[in-house]
Structure 1
Amino acid sequence: MRTKRAFLIFTIVVLLVILAVLSSRQWFPRPQEAPYRFILSWGKSGSGPGEFHNPIGIAIAGDRVFVSDAGNHRIQVFDRAGNFLFSFGHQGARLGELGRPMHMEAKGGKLYVADYLNDRVQVFSLDGKPLRTIGSPGSGPGQFDAPSGMAVDDEGLLYVVDFFNHRVQVLDAEGRFIKQFGKTGEKGIWAALFNYPTDVELLPNGRLIVADAYNDRVQVFDPNGKFLHKWGGPFAIDIPGSAPGWFKVATGVAIDRQGSIFVADFYNHRVQKFSSDGTFLVRLGNEGSDPGQLKLPTDMAVDEGGNVYVVDFGNDRIQKFGPPE
């Protein structure tokens, strides 16, 4: 009897050890790539040209870098070395005016801006001319309650993150509602539900990547809206943490040309890079105000050379990192 009991205890211990090892590999992964290198930063707190007050979103079009200077209710435009070129927009609700611009998308010679406080998307030419608005306040199809992020596909379909409605809406190029991801006004931790999502991107294969911010995770859907997978801490069900692959509010997503996914990890003061299947690859930055350090990052953009431009929200600046040489 004692022998059987001892064997049972031994078996349970072995199984627990195996489970712990497997869990450590899944929940505490090691970097798979060499660190990125700091290149340069620009900006400081203020309202003058090249100064920021709570920058949030960033987009690249050609040799220009567009930054949503949310607290100053404007878009500022720079070259890739951080030299100020021009700005457009000011606080207001008329065409061309902005109310806390958030994440953006540059596509087809246009800049699409999530106009958060005005409950709409605004479309500008790349020289800052206002072209049109999309959406109105509300919770119905094609309406928004604080849109926060944007993606546009090659067919002109718009994917708009609807923050307080806990959903992502898909609209045609004219702004007509097609479908949505998530349930209107319903937040939750289970697959395909959201808890204040903030940003969205599209992989080259059409899969949708959503920064499900306050669920501390990323969710992935196929082009038809079918949920595929998610990651961020154990089971990706709103368990925040600072280990690799975990999040404390995932605020922004960006995609490089290889399909790797960069996620702004707000309260962990870092950016994390993943493969398209969610495998952790490497982190960028750590908390601080020195060059190469981050404070509350919100968004990234990646150029064709693999350089990553990070919106350093808490430090009112943009930082540029290069891939390992």
Structure 2
Amino acid sequence: MARIWNFVGKFGSAGSGNGQFNTLCAIQVSGSYIYVSDRGNARIQVFNKTTYSHVANISLPNSGIPYDLDVDSTYIYVTDTVNKKMHIFKIQDFSLHASFTIREYTSTGGIVTVFCVSNAYIYTVSRSWGNEPYMYIYNQGTYTQANYYSLSVAAFNWHDMNLPYKEIEAYVTANTMAGISTPLGNIGINDGFNAVAMDSNYIYIARPYANLIAVYNRSTLAFCENFGSGGINNGQFNTPTFIAVDLSTSRIFVVDSNNNRIQEFELVIGEAPAAPSGLTANDIGGRSVQLNWVDNS
């Protein structure tokens, strides 16, 4: 069966207006909306998932700068790298619900990503250059730190595409942290990008320097395919750094960072076209030939 990732649509351009971006970061899709961390413009932008129309801007308190985000059915969770805070906004009206201080593994700071959220806990991963990543776990509601764990550097090895989600997922499950068995948030790996996302069937890995998306079977970790190439046309990328899955449709949204846009794709599976039969060629003079075949459509 042929597997093709069809380009569905795109939105965004460089700038500071609504629907424009300056240093794109994380992306999440939930319900009817797409949430995008527009770091250079110090805001979260919210878009209609179907029309790509701009819905709202969310500003962080105390001149905060967003990096990563996650969304559940009630709240939007945003990490603020300036104030070392996590800000939680209501999904209903995008108003601020709560803020709390988040831990960084080193005093010099680092990237803090929202790994996943549940009814009981919020999981973050702190990663700084040259240091092992740490997972910090906070209680929902009180936002106090519940625990923290050192994670293997190997789990964040950019070159081993099998490890990032599977190792963390197994780790969370084995330790029965809030009973999470299928965390679906993003996790930062050692180049600082939230390059991994997954649904019930596949693991998707954005490879910024190869300008492609790699797709793996979630159960077997078998490689399925790559898609994309470098460029500015539809289906091409210039440093794809973040990726999100719409779990209701299994469509994926890719942050095409240096093209300042978001692209949407869907997987189409069908029969490969049959090769023509009865192919013949007639010399019609000069350097031209006439091809004849039986239509197999």
Q: TM-score normalised by the shorter chain: which range applies? A: 0.7 to 0.9
* Correspondence for 1:88: 58
- Change in Cα spacing, 1:38 to 1:151, as seen in structure 2 (3 Å) is same
Which residues of 2 match residues 1-325 of structure 1 at below 5 A?
Answer: 34-80=3-49, 81-89=51-59, 94=62, 97-99=63-65, 101-126=66-91, 127-136=93-102, 138-139=104-105, 145-164=109-128, 166-173=133-140, 174-182=142-150, 192-193=152-153, 212=156, 217=161, 218-219=163-164, 220-221=167-168, 222=170, 223=172, 224=174, 251-256=194-199, 258-276=200-218, 277-303=220-246, 304-325=248-269
* TM-score, with structure 1 as normaliser: 0.67
Structure 1: gaps spanning 5 or more residues: 1-31, 184-191, 195-209, 227-237, 239-246
Structure 2: gaps spanning 5 or more residues: 177-188, 270-297
CA distance in 2, matches of 1:255, 1:144: 31
- Change in Cα spacing, 1:280 to 1:75, as seen in structure 2 (3 Å) is same
* Correspondence for 1:232: none
- Change in Cα spacing, 1:109 to 1:313, as seen in structure 2 (3 Å) is same
CA distance in 1, matches of 2:100, 2:222: 36
Matched AA of 1:158 = I
* Correspondence for 2:185: none
CA deviations on 1:135-162 (whole Å, 9 max, x unpaired) are 246548xx99344321334333111121
Shift of 1:35: 2.4
* Correspondence for 1:9: none
| Bigger proportion of residues as strand | 2
CA deviations on 1:243-302 (whole Å, 9 max, x unpaired) are xxxx9876422122x242111212111221212242211223211111111111121221
SS in 2 for 1:168: strand
SS in 1 for 2:209: helix
* TM-score, with structure 2 as normaliser: 0.72
Matched AA of 1:265 = R
CA distance in 1, matches of 2:136, 2:108: 9
CA distance in 1, matches of 2:159, 2:78: 24
Q: How many equivalent residue pairs? A: 243
Checking the alignment, whether the CA contact within 8 Å between 2:70 and 2:117 is kept in structure 1 is no
* Correspondence for 1:243: none
What is the root-mean-square deviation in Å for CA atoms of aligned residues? 2.9
Checking the alignment, whether the CA contact within 8 Å between 1:215 and 1:249 is kept in structure 2 is no
Checking the alignment, whether the CA contact within 8 Å between 1:310 and 1:319 is kept in structure 2 is yes
Structure number with larger C-alpha Rg: 2
Percent of pairs with identical residues: 22
CA distance in 2, matches of 1:248, 1:63: 31
| Bigger proportion of residues as helix | 1
